[in-house]
Copies of this chain bind each other. A is one copy, B any other.
């Protein structure tokens, strides 16, 4: 509260909340985006054939950002990846000086898919005899109402792929339906040379034509709706309980910076806790990568192993929230910018929402005959939505009054499905069941088995940048000469090297994962710390030699710990498009660097295997997974003790 008052005083004195709200981690502004394009143009790096695959802020040095005070200006920079057919460059721009400070050639094959590449190869495929024949076999003599998309098929180490930027093109029939996703023209794939826009080959796995099951879910298609329930309205006072100025947020005893980037989505930075003393907890956290491998060996499916965040930056992963639906009515919203292949900025409205939630749960309680107490709790939620074609993910950062931060990911949207010749489970061939690699969700429609992995990069700075990672195993201790034969005890291991800190959650070998401060102890002599407490997750079932697993090697472990390096930002590497095995975490940690008494980054993966139910069709009820950053001896007592007793 003291900090908020201080800020408000500054605002009142200077008369400009906007100026005071500037923060060195603020996203690239509209003006900065155009400045980037002008600098590129002036330096002959840009023409109308240039494909820009990403633009992002180069953040100032971490120590400077922690030390930043309102009003102070730090250097601004931008990182740009651009491509001219087979040539690609990484370019650093100093925005303060308007100059290019670095220009490095990179492998063009691996830059992310540009927004226009989804349509490359369509003309070639639709005029290719084998593709035309495949369409005809399935009942399409006229491609007028088809949607065709070319997507990156990953990498399998084959001869065919060497040196090429390859895409796989498939079509769906949009005729008459609102929801074309299930109208897959199944088993017909054109392999495209993306630089030439030509068809390398057509693979046809015919299993029957298109069936007319619809999966529309609009109001008309679903009618009648259930009755509108009696109102249940959340009403807040004249102002919400949080202060949101620019990209900075103050709520209860928390303060942090929140921006939405094109690749990372919601980036939460400089998280501090405390009124009188704002203690650092987390320098930065965001969803670093999404990996979704499908589990059907057919040619049309074997290559659907999406490393979404890295491959589809150009798709514009973060899309508007629908006010009053995706967030409650009283939420506040913020826009953000993204860029298409031309590099021009576009406004994405309502991309972030913030709201307080009274869940109806107490923060704590104890009932005793003569002294019962309980304190109502509320949370602050910051939310964005990623949309990757058919799938939608809500990402929530939930700040709690008890010092915890819960990060939640809700999967919803439309499951990827396969059109099957067999109608359903009863009518399919017993010998070659159509649901061998999925599950029927409607007539002729099989939801295909798949998994999701979400890696969060968590740059914790617990009471400062010098931290240590502790794995506190709970181990059985046998007891001799005691009535009890055993107890469990804490066995603390400080992990000193990266390769000792590749960890999996395992119920038979429980352990606490903690980041300890090296410079501060609590009132009873323990180092202050934050614990990463996993929720439900999953382990990969792919064989170690399977390419998709090797390309997204971060899924080998639920947790990795690395020393801080500003250039290591994405779990599957900077360029996971058509990438070769071993990028990102496996590569960085191969050096087995020191992680003791240094600045640490945690990489946590939340996984889920999805065997699709009928209930997941045609739109999937949201399924939440979460993990918690939990104070452990960071405070001297329950920090929620001082919550007022009334709602």
* Contact (Cβ within 8 A) B507 A476: no
Chain B nearest CB from A373 CB (Å) reads 7
Cα A505 to Cα B537 with chains together (Å): 11
Which of A500-538 touch B at CB < 8 Å?
504-508, 510, 512, 521-526, 534-538
Cβ of A246 under 8 Å from chain B: no
Question: With a CB–CB cut-off of 8 A, which chain B residues contact A178?
Answer: 371
With beta carbons under 8 angstroms apart, the residue of B329, B488, B525 that contacts A440 is B525
Cβ of A169 under 8 Å from chain B: no
Cβ of A319 under 8 Å from chain B: yes
Cβ of A570 under 8 Å from chain B: no
Chain B nearest CB from A393 CB (Å) reads 10
Question: With a CB–CB cut-off of 8 A, which chain B residues contact A218?
Answer: 371, 373
* Contact (Cβ within 8 A) B230 A237: yes
Pick the interface stretch among A65-73, A423-431, A593-601: A423-431
Which of A358-400 touch B at CB < 8 Å?
358-368, 371-378, 381, 385, 387, 390, 392, 394
* Contact (Cβ within 8 A) B425 A524: yes
* Contact (Cβ within 8 A) B226 A252: yes
Cβ of A302 under 8 Å from chain B: yes
Pick the interface stretch among A7-15, A41-49, A460-468, A636-644: A636-644
Most chain B beta carbons < 10 A, residue from A362, A375, A451, A644: A362
* Contact (Cβ within 8 A) B510 A507: no
* Contact (Cβ within 8 A) B523 A361: no
* Contact (Cβ within 8 A) B614 A512: no
With beta carbons under 8 angstroms apart, the residue of B229, B361, B427, B634 that contacts A241 is B229
Cα A505 to Cα B618 with chains together (Å): 29
* Contact (Cβ within 8 A) A633 B613: yes
Most chain B beta carbons < 10 A, residue from A357, A524, A636: A524
Cβ of A493 under 8 Å from chain B: no
Chain B residue with Cβ nearest A483: B156
Pick the interface stretch among A76-84, A96-104, A106-114, A407-415: A407-415
Cα A113 to Cα B461 with chains together (Å): 50
How many of A's residues come within 8 Å of B, CB to CB?
Answer: 165
Pick the interface stretch among A119-127, A132-140, A541-549, A573-581: A541-549
Chain B residue with Cβ nearest A238: B230
Known A-B contacts A360-B327, A376-B325, A476-B541; the reply to A637 vs B609 at CB < 8 A is no
* Contact (Cβ within 8 A) B358 A524: no
Cβ of A253 under 8 Å from chain B: yes
Cα A478 to Cα B542 with chains together (Å): 9
Chain B nearest CB from A259 CB (Å) reads 20
Cβ of A234 under 8 Å from chain B: yes
A604-647 Cβ-contact flags toward B at 8 Å (1 or 0): 00000101011111111110100000011111111111111111
Cα A103 to Cα B57 with chains together (Å): 79
Chain B residue with Cβ nearest A221: B641
Chain B residue with Cβ nearest A377: B622
Chain B residue with Cβ nearest A550: B485
Question: With a CB–CB cut-off of 8 A, which chain B residues contact A647?
Answer: 232-233, 324-325, 328-329
Cβ of A498 under 8 Å from chain B: no
Question: With a CB–CB cut-off of 8 A, which chain B residues contact A374?
Answer: 322, 325-326
Cβ of A403 under 8 Å from chain B: yes
Most chain B beta carbons < 10 A, residue from A476, A631, A638: A638
* Contact (Cβ within 8 A) A489 B361: no
Cα A543 to Cα B482 with chains together (Å): 13
With beta carbons under 8 angstroms apart, the residue of B376, B381, B478, B618 that contacts A360 is B381
15 contacts between A and B (CB under 8 A): A178-B371, A227-B644, A231-B237, A233-B234, A295-B487, A322-B365, A425-B526, A442-B637, A449-B489, A476-B543, A488-B541, A506-B508, A613-B631, A615-B634, A615-B635
The 7 A-B residue pairs whose C-beta atoms are closest, nearest first, are A426-B525, A425-B525, A325-B374, A402-B621, A295-B487, A440-B524, A328-B360
A295-B489, A325-B365 known; 14 other A-B pairs, CB under 8 Å? A178-B371, A231-B236, A297-B479, A322-B367, A325-B375, A365-B412, A366-B412, A440-B525, A476-B541, A476-B543, A488-B609, A504-B507, A523-B614, A618-B637
